[in-house]
A and B are shown apart, each in its own frame.
Chain A
Amino acid sequence: QKEVEQNSGPLSVPEGAIASLNCTYSDRVSQSFFWYRQYSGKSPELIMSIYSNGDKEDGRFTAQLNKASQYVSLLIRDSQPSDSATYLCAVNRREEKLTFGTGTRLTIIP
């Protein structure tokens, strides 16, 4: 079992709709959870972090964490073509290093 699993996609969503990206992790002692966005040919960019169960909202982005189910998700409301990218889920335990999923490729269709 991979430490961090994501559906590789591609996920296609119409412009203006809600995009839902999912991630599961295997280590129950994981403490911090991050979502990175990576445009083609660019480096990963941190867009959301979440540490406690529940929802965390930042503009059009909402991160959701359920530690009991070992599940973290990212919702993108009012999807824009500029949201088309690969989204990486990352998890860390009681240490600094982050373990990344392989990413979900998201395409917003105008």
Chain B
Amino acid sequence: DAGVIQSPRHEVTEMGQEVTLRCKPISGHNSLFWYRQTMMRGLELLIYFNNNVPIDDSGMPEDRFSAKMPNASFSTLKIQPSEPRDSAVYFCASNYPGQGYANYGYTFGSGTRLTVV
């Protein structure tokens, strides 16, 4: 199993540009999570999907952020327009929830380090 695959690994963009981060979950995992990690705030949940349906997007900072999961093997997180304060590491994680909650813990992807200048 290749694990959770994220791309790109690093992204440097100018303020105001659109940024798209991509994630492929582990095959058979039906829950997908997007987290953001900064030194100041730690790991923050942005949004999560179950069976491709967004369940909780309360962590999405503002309308500049959007996420989609068109099928079970692909998700995107888009920031438009990007701002310097969006600079962080963005992690995608997937989970097979077993009895309906995080029984087994998540598996994280390698992350995308985003720098907005």
Contacts and interface: CB of A to CB of B under 8 A. Distances in A.
A45 interface: yes
Given A42-B110, A90-B105, A100-B43, 13 more contacts: A32-B102, A32-B103, A43-B108, A43-B109, A44-B91, A92-B101, A94-B101, A96-B48, A96-B101, A97-B56, A98-B102, A98-B105, A102-B42
Interface of B: 31, 33, 35, 41-43, 45, 48, 50, 55-56, 91, 95, 97, 100-111
15 contacts: A31-B101, A34-B102, A34-B105, A43-B109, A44-B91, A44-B108, A45-B108, A49-B105, A88-B43, A92-B102, A96-B102, A97-B48, A97-B56, A100-B35, A102-B42
A31 B102 CA distance: 9
Nearest to B109: A43
Contacts of B100: 96
Contacts of B95: 96
Chain A at the B interface: SS class: loop
